[in-house]
């Protein structure tokens, strides 16, 4: 059986309106019943359908139609396109399909992602392990029916996603994260004046200046030593 043309009914409408082909010729070419083609010619079938030109779309040639019009026994043959279109690969949309044997591991994978990559959004986790937003919320809030038995496990190790997909989502989450405010980061560190002032007060005394550290008062040092010596002598006399 020959290949059917694109939009067979619209093609049949065009052939009925623009050629003198028989109903059988049109029906066989468009893979329709002859009575259906007759209904198109009578206006009872395919009402409102605009004719589709098979010559303009490269499905027929004018010579092929002329040959069929000259011989009612001749059957039209669809033209083979000389242009080979690349095969379109189906694009996966929606959540990732998870095999039945791996579905019981999804809660463990979700827990691992929540702990190790808290920057990931729920939609990203859904794409990685093929879960639902409700399940993610239950595991995050510890309201999941099996929360007590869950163990964080790497989804890549479990075979729920590839390392490339995981890295891609983590990098995307890092890009979407708002930049950190320098003012907030500065609140975690004390100013230099505060941190250095405390050490200076311990080394030089409150009210002293760091520049005075190199100048030692010799008289005060010897006076303090004499005081300590008198205290030792007094203690010795008391012992006698």
Q: For the chain, give every domain's residue range.
A: 8-70, 100-176
**Cβ neighbours of residue 105 under 8 Å, at least 6 residues apart?**
153, 158, 160
Average pLDDT value for the chain: 76
Query: What is the distance between the alpha carbons of residues 116 and 108, in angstroms, rounded to a whole number?
Result: 12
CB 36 within 8 A of CB 85: no
Question: How far lies 132's CA from each of 33, 99, 100, 171, in Å?
Answer: 49, 15, 16, 22
Predicted local confidence at residue 237, as pLDDT: 52
Give the single-character DSSP code of 118: T
CB 13 within 8 A of CB 49: yes
Positions in the chain short of pLDDT 70: 1-2, 81-103, 177-218, 221-222, 224-226, 228-240
Query: What is the distance between the alpha carbons of residues 57 and 81, in angstroms, rounded to a whole number?
Result: 10
Predicted local confidence at residue 63, as pLDDT: 92
Predicted local confidence at residue 26, as pLDDT: 92
Predicted local confidence at residue 18, as pLDDT: 92
pTM score, whole prediction: 0.38
């Amino acid at each position: 059986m020959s290949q059917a043309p694109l939009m067979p009914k619209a093609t049949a409408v065009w052939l009925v309106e623009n050629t003198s082909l028989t109903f059988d010729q049109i029906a066989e070419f468009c893979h329709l019943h002859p009575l259906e083609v007759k209904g198109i010619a009578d206006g009872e079938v395919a009402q409102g359908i605009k004719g589709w030109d098979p010559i303009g779309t490269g499905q027929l040639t004018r010579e092929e139609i002329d040959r069929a019009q000259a011989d009612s026994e001749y059957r039209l043959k669809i033209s083979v396109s000389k242009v080979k279109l690349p095969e379109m690969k189906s694009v996966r949309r929606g959540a990732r399909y998870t095999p039945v044997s791996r579905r019981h591991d999804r809660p463990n994978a979700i827990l691992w992602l929540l702990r190790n990559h808290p920057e990931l959004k729920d939609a990203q986790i859904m794409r990685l392990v093929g879960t639902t937003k409700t399940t993610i919320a239950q595991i995050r809030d510890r309201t999941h029916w099996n929360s007590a038995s869950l163990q964080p496990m790497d989804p890549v190790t479990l075979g729920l996603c590839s390392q490339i997909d995981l890295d891609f989502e983590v990098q995307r989450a890092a890009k979407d994260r708002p930049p950190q405010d320098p003012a907030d980061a500065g609140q975690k560190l004390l100013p230099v004046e505060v941190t250095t002032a405390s050490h200076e007060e311990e080394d030089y005394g409150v009210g002293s200046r760091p520049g005075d550290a190199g100048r030692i008062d010799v008289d005060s040092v010897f006076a303090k030593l004499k005081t300590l010596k008198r205290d030792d002598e007094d203690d010795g006399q008391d012992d006698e």
